[in-house]
Amino acid sequence: MPKVVDAATRRREIHSAACALAVEAGFAGVTIRAVAARMGASTSVVTHYFPSREELVSSALDQALDRFWQGLPTAPPPTGGPMGIQAFVEHAVFSSAPELRDVWMRAVVDAPGDPVVRASLDRFDRRWDATVSTLVDALALDEAATRLLIDQLDIIVSGAVTTGVEGVPDADRRAAVSSLLAHLLVRGSG
């Protein structure tokens, strides 16, 4: 009797192996053969779910990046203005699992040379920009000030995530992020 395998579980296993390989060797190292070897499975196990490397990489990276959105606090729902922005930025920097941060960092590094990775990051960035724009809109700034604040928030998040990879303690990063946000948001909402 053939072994019954739950498709969702198998896809998660494949995604996990692909993301681990990406962190270790870059997305160029994520091949059907390498993922199968990491899982101790045949290539047909991987190709059953992902017929091409492009589909494999896209699905694994999209799934990893989607975990960021799933972790957002829902009660109370994120609101705009300074408090909503602060909560969203703190979630982005401090609530994401280290493995998600590592996959994101690798994707940022590899995106310029890999159109599949670039496309996944572009999808994430569009959603990020729309969310941040909605939060910032509550401040009722003019268009130039809104764009500047959104860019500054992107820089704060990117810098704080990067320093986490570099080993700067969370307490130090949290203090720096809080200080920068307080300065920007008081200036931006005033």
pLDDT in tens, 179-190: 888 888 776 544
Ranges of CATH 1.10.357 domains, the chain? 63-189
- Mean model confidence pLDDT for the chain: 88
Q: Six-digit token pair at 148?
A: 């500047």
8 Å CB contact between 156 and 181: yes
Kindly report, residue by residue over 75-112, the tens digit of the pLDDT: 444 567 788 888 888 888 887 788 888 999 999 999 99
Residue-wise pLDDT for 157-171, tens only, equals 888 888 887 877 778
Cα distances (angstroms) measured from residue 80 to each of 74, 131, 139, 148, 180:
14, 10, 8, 17, 18
Which residues make up the CATH 1.10.10.60 domain(s) of the chain?
7-61
Matching residue, tokens 């017929």: 51
Rounded to a whole number of angstroms, the distance between the first and last alpha carbons of the chain is: 70
Helices (H), 26-142: 32-39, 43-49, 53-70, 81-90, 98-110, 115-137
- Per cent of the chain over pLDDT 70 is 93
Of 8 and 74, the one with more pLDDT: 8
Whether domain 7-61 has CATH 1.10.10.60: the reply is yes
Element (H, E) at 157: helix 143-165
The CATH classification number of 63-189 equals 1.10.357
- How high is the pLDDT of residue 190? 47
**Residue 63 in this model has a pLDDT that exceeds 90:** yes
